[in-house]
Amino acid sequence: MHPTDGLRGTKSKKLEGRRIVLGVTGSIAAVECFELARDLIRHGAQVHAVLSQEALNLVTPWSMEFATGNEVIDVIDGRVQHVSLLGNSPDKADLYLIAPCTANTISKITCGIDDTPVTTMATTALGSGTPVLIAPAMHLAMFQNPIIQKNVRLLQEVGVQFIGPRIENKKAKIATNEELVEAVIRTLGKKDMTGKSVLVIGGSSEEAIDEMRIITNKGSGETAIEIATAAFERGAEVELWMGRASVGMPPFIETKRFVSVADLSQMIKKANQDIVIVPAALSDFAPARSKGKIPSDEKDVILRLCSLPKVLDTLRSRAKVLVGFKAEHGIPEKELKAKAKKRLKEASLDLIVANDLRDVSAGKTKAFILRSDGKERKVDGSKSALAEAIMDEIISF
C-alpha cells in the first residue's frame, strides 16, 4: 500500500473519485507543491503531477511520485499522456491546476504554445473543455507587466480561472494551499448556489462596560465559518461578517469585522444579499456605559443593562431567505423546539437552527433545523455536516 492510500480522504470526501492534474512550473513556489498535492489527497482526490523542465531544478520526480502515489510526467512520450489525462476521453481527469504558474507559462498558454509538458497539458485541457485553474507566482513587477495582465484577461475570457496571487513585499506570491484546495472543491462542487449571494454573520458581539471592560457571549465563530465555506463551495458569492472569534478567518472568503450590536446595525443598512444566515452569538443587553475606567478598587459595582434591538428583525426586509439560530441550555428537547418555533414566527424567518449548548463542542454539534412550512430535520455530528444540511434546506426555497 502506498502511503497516500492511508492519507486519502482523512480531511473530507469532497474530492473523492476526482482526478486532478497538477502542473508545476519553474517558480520558487514549486517547493510548496508537495504539500499542495497532499492536501488535495486529504480531501479524497487522485493527483497526477506534471513538471516542466525548469520545475525539475526545484523539485524532483521522485519526491512528487512519493507525494501523489502516481508516476510523474516530465516529458510527453509515446504514451501521449496529455491525451489520456486531459484529452477527449471518457476517463479524462476532472481538472487541471497549474500551481505555481510563471509569467512565461501564462504567456505561452495564451499564445497556444505547448513546448513543455505543462503547456501541452494546458493546450489539451482547453481544447477538451476541462476546467483549468492557474495560480500565478512571480515578482510583482512581472505580474504587473501590461502584457502579462492582458494575457491573464485573455485566458479568463476563455474560462481559465485565476487564484491569487497574494501581493506581499513586492512579490506576487502563490495563493495559500487552503485557497487552492477550496477553489478546486468549488469548481468541482454541486454549483447549486451559483448566482446566489450569501451573507453569514458569526462570532460574538462585545458591549463596553467602560473604556477597559466588556461583556460578551460565548461563541467561537466556528459554525459561521463552516456555513460560509459550504456556501462558497457550492458556488455562491459569500461575504462573512465576524465579531469576536477564537478561530482563524478563511482566506478565500471576503470578511468584515464588527464589534458591537450597534456596529452591526450600521453595517446591516448596506446589506443586500439574497440569503442571510445568522449563527452569531449577539448580546441581548448592553451596559449603561461608564465614562473612563471604573476604578479597580471600587467595591460592589452594579451594572445596569439595557435591551438591544433584535438584529434578525432588522434583516427581514433585506433578505429573500433569512436563517436564524436559537441556543438554549439545559432544557428538554420539546421546550427547545417550542422556543425556536416561537422565534421563527416572531421574526418571520424561513429557517431556524436550534440547539442546546450542552451538545456543542469544537467541531461537533447536535441541532434541529425547523422550517417555516413546519418541516423539521435533525443533525447530530460535525458542524460541517450541519452547514451542508442548512444549504440543502435553503436551496429548496
The answer to whether residues 68 and 24 touch, using CB atoms and an 8 Å cutoff, is no
> 120 CB contacts (<8 Å, ≥6 apart)?
76, 82, 114
User: Residue written as cell 486529504?
Assistant: 42
What integer is the mean pLDDT of 232-240?
A: 97
Q: How large is the greatest C-alpha to C-alpha distance in the chain, in angstroms?
A: 86
Query: Would you state the pLDDT for residue 297?
Result: 81
Last residue of a domain, one of 156, 188, 220: 188
Query: In which region does residue 238 sit, left (phi positive, over 0), alpha (psi from -120 to 50) or beta (all else)?
Result: beta
- pLDDT band for 223, please (50, 70, 90 cuts): very high
308 and 350 in a single domain? The answer is yes
Per-residue pLDDT tens digits for 313-352: 889 888 999 999 998 899 998 999 999 999 999 999 999 9
156 and 208 in a single domain? The answer is no
258-274: b (≥16 Cβ within 10 Å) or e: bbbbeebeeebeebebb
Helix, strand, or coil here: 81? helix
161-162 and 95-101: which strand pairing? Answer: unpaired
What integer is the mean pLDDT of 214-238?
A: 93
101 and 206 in a single domain? The answer is no
Parent domain of 133: 3-188
- Spatial separation of the C-alpha atoms in residues 369 and 367, rounded to whole Å: 7
Query: Would you state the pLDDT for residue 251?
Result: 92
CATH code of the domain covering residue 205: 3.40.50.10300
Percent of the chain exceeding pLDDT 90 equals 75
122 and 246 in a single domain? The answer is no
184 and 202 in a single domain? The answer is no
Q: Which amino acid belongs to residue 77?
A: D
Last residue of a domain, one of 158, 188, 218: 188
Query: How many CA within 13 A on the CB side of residue 393?
Result: 27
pTM for the structure as a whole: 0.91
- pLDDT band for 210, please (50, 70, 90 cuts): confident
Per-residue pLDDT tens digits for 47-102: 999 999 999 999 999 999 999 999 999 998 888 878 899 999 889 999 999 999 99
CATH code of the domain covering residue 9: 3.40.50.1950
228 and 128 in a single domain? The answer is no
Last residue of a domain, one of 162, 188, 214: 188
- Spatial separation of the C-alpha atoms in residues 79 and 343, rounded to whole Å: 64
First to last CA, the chain: 46
Query: Would you state the pLDDT for residue 89?
Result: 85
Per-residue pLDDT tens digits for 134-157: 999 999 999 999 999 999 999 999
- Spatial separation of the C-alpha atoms in residues 273 and 254, rounded to whole Å: 14
149 and 225 in a single domain? The answer is no
106 and 220 in a single domain? The answer is no
288 and 184 in a single domain? The answer is no
Q: How many domains does the chain have?
A: 2
